[in-house]
Amino acid sequence: MADERTERSSTSTARFCLASGPVQYRPPSSVKVNACPLLAPVNPDLAARIWVLLQRGERRIVIDLSGVSRIDAGGVGELVRTFNIASGVNVSLRIVHTTELVREALVRVGLFDLLSADD
């Protein structure tokens, strides 16, 4: 019985160690924001889709903003909140394909480089 417990415990420890160490390359999961402005009040759909990916164990998430025509403080806040949640669990979250207006707004508040930086 003691041998069986030791075996189980060492197996689960081994799994944990493997999960927290270097992993094989896996393409990032992608979330495409539907064609719309990202304005307050912000639709909770983006955060819900990110939560699903986090619960699935995704380590790299890319948000495609090509469909976002405009963004305001509420939309910026939602991106920051999503970025902070992902960072808090050591998940890389990046934005891609920003429209000119969205890129300008994110540059103006100093977040474009942070949110669009490569891993």
What single string gives the DSSP state of each residue in 103-119?
Answer: HHHHHHTT-HHHHH---
Give the integer Cα–Cα distance in Å for 116 and 106: 10
Give the integer Cα–Cα distance in Å for 76 and 87: 16
| pLDDT the model gives residue 47 | 82
pLDDT tens figures, 29-86 = 666 665 566 777 777 788 888 888 888 888 889 988 888 888 999 999 999 999 999 9
Q: Could you give the percent of the chain with pLDDT greater than 70?
A: 67
Structurally, at CATH architecture level, domain 26-116 sits in 2-Layer Sandwich (3.30)
Residue 78 in tokens: 């939602």
What residue has token string 């304005």? 39
| pLDDT the model gives residue 100 | 94
In this prediction the pTM is: 0.69
